[in-house]
Chain A
Amino acid sequence: MELWYSENHSDDVKFSLRVEEQLYTKQTEYQRIDVMTSKEFGTFLTLDGLMMVAEKDEFIYHEMIVHVPMSVNPNIKKVLVIGGGDGGTVKQLVRYDTVEAIDLVEIDRDVVEVCKKFLPTVSAGLNDERVNINYEDGLKFVRNTKDKYDLIIVDSTDPFGPGEGLFTREFYGNCYRTLSDDGIMVNQHESPYYENYANSLIRAHRRIKGVFPIHKIYQAHIPTYPSGHWLFGFASNKFDPIKDFNAERWNKLRLDTKYYNTELHMGCFALPNYVKELLDNA
């Protein structure tokens, strides 16, 4: 018997993985959650039929969304993670002894429970005592919180479901308000290649440009995400991700990483021409 998981990357392009076993499925109040195992990518989680995290390649996304801002400002102490219920982002964050508190805001409690159960290597960090999990709409959280954060990581789903509110000006505006004066916001920024994703990218970039004086885009190569070419946004009032970057300082931490390194940090902000053009027109 052959069992395949397929995801449309565009109307006319399909990405498929051979599934060994389906471990879990549930329609929650917000979305459909599925967990499957595969030979090529290990255990993986999908939300509404879209790949969120796969055991074998999750390091790329999570290292890039965490180490880029952490290496630009080593004084980051208080971090807010919006989304990221799989725990992969938190796993990278808790490696820094200097981080004092991590608030994670995930709308769907089931995502966290499921990842704790089926993706223990990804979600391990969620048990760290510095981590506090809130089950709430991220937009509502940033609007109401009185705390100030040094770093906000927007580790959201695509903007076609419960994550839609996390790609809006009202969200970025409230994030800005919630950041300390030298705060940084990093967000998963969709893919430039397929039109549907590129539209989300453009809209998000336009909104962030209107809120933060410094806004840069960087990239990574993630096999399980549409087109494999994925972008992240770096926004701040104060820090420039290249000019304020100190490679030596970060290398002294001796963190063992599989994707991120300080040369790659400098290179990942160099974008292909067609992506630059997309962003210029945003």
Chain B
Amino acid sequence: MNPLDQNKAPIYEALRRFKSMRVVPFDVPGHKRGRGNPELTSFLGQPCMDVDVNSMKPLDNLCHPVSVIREAEELAAAAFSAKNAFLMVNGTTAAVQAMVFSAVKEGEKIIIPRNVHRSAINALVLSGAIPVYVNPGVNKKLGIPLGMSLESVRDAIEKNPDAKAVFVNNPTYYGICSDLKEIVRIAHRAGMTVLADEAHGTHFYFGDGFPISAMAAGADMAAVSMHKNGGSLTQSSFLLINNYISEGYTRQIINLTQTTSGSYLLMSSLDLSRKNLALNGKDIYKKVLDYANYARDEINKIGGYYAFGKDLIDGKAIYDFDLAKLSVHTRDIGLAGIEVYDMLRDDYDIQIEFGDIGNILAIISVGDTTLMMERLISAMSDIERLHHKSSIGMFDHEYISPDVITTPKEAFYAEKRSVPIEKSSGMVCSEFVMCYPPGIPILAPGERITKEILDYIAYAKEKGCFMTGTEDVNIDYINVI
């Protein structure tokens, strides 16, 4: 058998062998195959507890893989056409942080769009790297931040020739892609590493008709959230590397912060999901695409809603669009996205990914069915029937360009004081403020607080967005330098 036969799932197979050995455990975890916690065992099931085990010779070790985990990583690398792949069990957050830590050190610059996930800016707080923000374009009608236009990246590279890396969302939460291939070309010419946040891009590697994947575009590193729409368990993810990036150094960086007790539940879920996508990904994502396209058409027929797709593409800040994302603009029916999001859950028992001021996003993935799609569309239609109203007076702006005063690290660790948020206009913020999800900071440490930002925060709070990031859980007070 070919050693890189994608039918294989080495971790899963090793766990099955291990189970049949009936080894007596005198190691951790102390629940000892669930016997020590009967209530949990009855809740999660015996098969689950049986494989919640510790690293050992037959099962390899995530920190220093030499056997089955190594094989699983090699199979994953082949499946993603990467030079190396790393199993990640601390979330895609850990993968994003590992990318940033390995590409830039304290005081070094990284070119980064401002609409990144908090995990990227958190990595800057920890590492002390300096962000050079590229303003993502904004679609005024939808109020969403877009991708980076080639001109703005070129401009940032020219103005910051000493920058070490360029960070790209591929795609953004809303499904928008930058011209990654060309960004890679100009970044490499300037000697910079290209890091791709592919938290929402797993399917780019397996389906047809999607935007180009980071590895295919020649990027150097990519963080791929297998759990988001690839079918693995929550918190499991892949880090991919390419080109000249060192495998050993990347592993060292990962091991700085990642757990030494890697969960075999998570690892086996990565192993089996990789196998499933490598073997069946084309068909699976064809179905996903059909569902998403059907839903988009049907939702647009309801009237009032705008389920956007490739029609947004402008060749610049929207170079490509991921059609597997079902993003719907709701403001024209007089409802904020967050309001539709809440109604779907409270009145219709439908949980979608997020709602922001003007849009909602539903994740369509490997696990959906025709009947479930129909429920979502019908619920949207019923909400429109019952709640349609004028959109006059609704906030129509989402992205606010940041005024960066100091680095995230300096601002976060600086001497700070807490002030009532409404009185903070003009001051420099020392912490994050964001709606979660999507988790894109409205304010990041080191940025000037403006009246416009405060109005936005007040509006988001009023509409029921779940705000996080500040030390004060109610976001009534904010830490400033």
Query: How many angstroms from the CA of A162 to the CA of B374 in the assembled complex?
Result: 12
Chain B 373-415 interface 0/1 with A at a Cβ cutoff of 8 Å (1 = within): 0110111011001100000000000000000000000000000
Most buried by A among B347, B374, B378, B381: B378
Does B210 have its Cβ within 8 Å of any Cβ on chain A? no
User: B378, A139: Cβ atoms under 8 Å?
Assistant: yes
Counting chain A CB atoms within 10 Å of each CB, the highest count among B348, B381, B382, B385 belongs to B382
Q: Are A173 and B382 in contact (CB under 8 A)?
A: yes
User: Which of A171, A174, A177, A210 is B347 in contact with, Cβ under 8 Å?
Assistant: A210
Q: How far is the CA of A78 from the CA of B381 in the complex (A)?
A: 24
Contact with B along A148-180 (1 / 0, CB 8 A): 000000000000001011001111011001000
B24 interface residue, CB < 8 Å from A? no
Residues of A within 8 A of B379 (CB): 168-170
Bitwise, A124-156 to B at CB < 8 A (1) or not (0) is 000000000000010110110000000000000
Task: Among A143, A164, A165, A210, point to the contact of B381 (Cβ < 8 A).
Answer: A143
Query: Beyond A173-B386, A177-B385, is A143–B377 a contact (Cβ under 8 Å)?
Result: yes
Give the nearest-CB partner of A30 in chain B: B371
| Contact status B382-A174, CB under 8 Å | yes
Q: Is the CB of B371 within 8 A of A170?
A: no
Q: Are A137 and B371 in contact (CB under 8 A)?
A: yes
**B370 contacts the other chain (CB 8 A):** yes
A146 to chain B, nearest CB (A): 12
Contact A173 B371 (CB under 8 A): no
B182 located at the interface, meaning its Cβ lies under 8 Å from any Cβ of chain A in the complex: no
Please name all residues of chain A whose beta carbon is closer than 8 Å to the beta carbon of B375 when the two chains form the complex.
Answer: 139, 165, 168, 170
Q: Tell me the chain B residues, 329-365 only, with Cβ under 8 Å from chain A.
A: 347-349
Task: Tell me which residues across on chain A come within 8 A of B382, comparing CB atoms.
Answer: 169-170, 173-174, 177
B380 — nearest CB in chain A belongs to which residue? Answer: A170
Number of contact residues on A: which range applies? 10 to 19
Bound CA–CA A142/B347 (angstroms)? 19
Assembly CA distance A263 to B439 (angstroms): 62
Q: Could you tell me if B348 and A168 are in contact, using CB atoms closer than 8 angstroms?
A: yes
Which B residue's beta carbon lies closest to that of A173? B382
Task: Answer whether A165 and B374 are a contact pair too, CB < 8 Å, given A170-B348, A170-B379, A210-B347.
Answer: yes
Alpha-carbon distance A21/B212, docked complex (angstroms)? 58
- Complex CA gap A140/B373 in Å reads 10
Say which size band chain B's interface belongs to: 10 to 19
Q: Is the CB of B378 within 8 A of A170?
A: yes
**Nearest B residue to A164, CB-CB:** B371
Tell me, in angstroms, the Cα distance from A170 to B378 when the chains sit together: 6
A142 CA to B386 CA, complexed, in Å: 16
How close is B41's CB to chain A, nearest CB, in angstroms?
18
| Chain B residues, CB < 8 A from A143 | 374, 377-378, 381
B57 vs chain A, min Cβ distance (A): 42
Q: Which of B349, B371, B381 contacts A174 (CB 8 A)?
A: B381
Given known contacts A139-B378, A143-B378, A177-B385, is B370 in contact with A169 (CB within 8 Å)? no
Q: How far is the CB of B293 from chain A (nearest CB, A)?
A: 16
With a cutoff of 8 Å between Cβ atoms, the chain A residues found around residue B381 in the complex are 143, 170, 174
Q: Which B residues are in CB contact (< 8 Å) with A162?
A: 371
CB nearest neighbor in B for A161? B371
Distance of A168 Cα from B386 Cα, bound (Å): 15
Q: How far is the CA of A210 from the CA of B343 in the complex (A)?
A: 13
A168 touches B349 (CB 8 A): yes
| Contact A139-B374, Cβ < 8 Å, known A169-B379, A169-B382, A173-B386 | yes
A169 engages B347 (CB within 8 Å) = yes
> Once bound together, how far apart are the Cα atoms of A162 and B375, in whole Å?
12
Q: Which residue in chain A gives the minimum CB-CB distance to B302?
A: A143
With a cutoff of 8 Å between Cβ atoms, the chain B residues found around residue A177 in the complex are 382, 385
CB distance from B299 to the nearest CB of A (A): 11
Which residue on chain A has the smallest CB distance to residue B346? A169
CA distance A230 to B371 in the complex (A): 26
Known contacts A143-B381, A177-B385; is-contact A169 B374 (Cβ 8 Å): no
- Contact across chains for A137 and B386 when beta carbons are under 8 A apart: no
CB of B407, distance to nearest CB on chain A (Å): 49
**B residues within 8 A CB of A140?**
374, 378
Distance A51 CA – B381 CA, assembled complex (angstroms) = 33
The answer to whether A165 and B371 touch across the interface, beta carbons within 8 angstroms, is: yes
Complex Cα distance, B375 from A164, in Å, reads 9
Min CB–CB distance A177 → chain B (angstroms): 6
Docked Cα-Cα span, A177 to B381, in Å, equals: 11
Residues of B within 8 A of A173 (CB): 378, 382, 385-386
A52 and B377 CA atoms in complex are apart in Å by: 29
Given contacts A168-B375, A173-B386, A177-B385, contact A137 B348 (CB under 8 A): no
B380 CB, min distance to chain A CBs, angstroms: 8
Alpha-carbon distance A173/B343, docked complex (angstroms): 13
- Min Cβ gap A57→B in Å is 30
Q: Which residue of A lies closest to B350 (CB)?
A: A170
Contacts of A169 in B (CB 8 A): 347-349, 379, 382
Interface bits A201-244 vs B (CB < 8 Å: 1, else 0) = 00000000010000000000000000000000000000000000
Additional A-B contacts beyond A169-B379, A170-B378, A173-B386 (19; CB < 8 A): A137-B371, A142-B378, A143-B377, A143-B381, A165-B378, A168-B378, A169-B347, A169-B348, A169-B349, A170-B375, A170-B379, A170-B381, A173-B378, A173-B382, A173-B385, A174-B378, A174-B381, A177-B382, A210-B347
Tell me the A residues contacting B by CB distance below 8 Å.
137, 139-140, 142-143, 162, 164-165, 168-171, 173-174, 177, 210
Sampled A-B contacts (10; CB under 8 Å): A137-B370, A139-B374, A142-B378, A143-B378, A164-B371, A165-B378, A169-B379, A170-B382, A174-B381, A210-B347
Return the 4 tightest CB-CB contacts between A and B, nearest first.
A173-B382, A170-B378, A170-B379, A143-B378
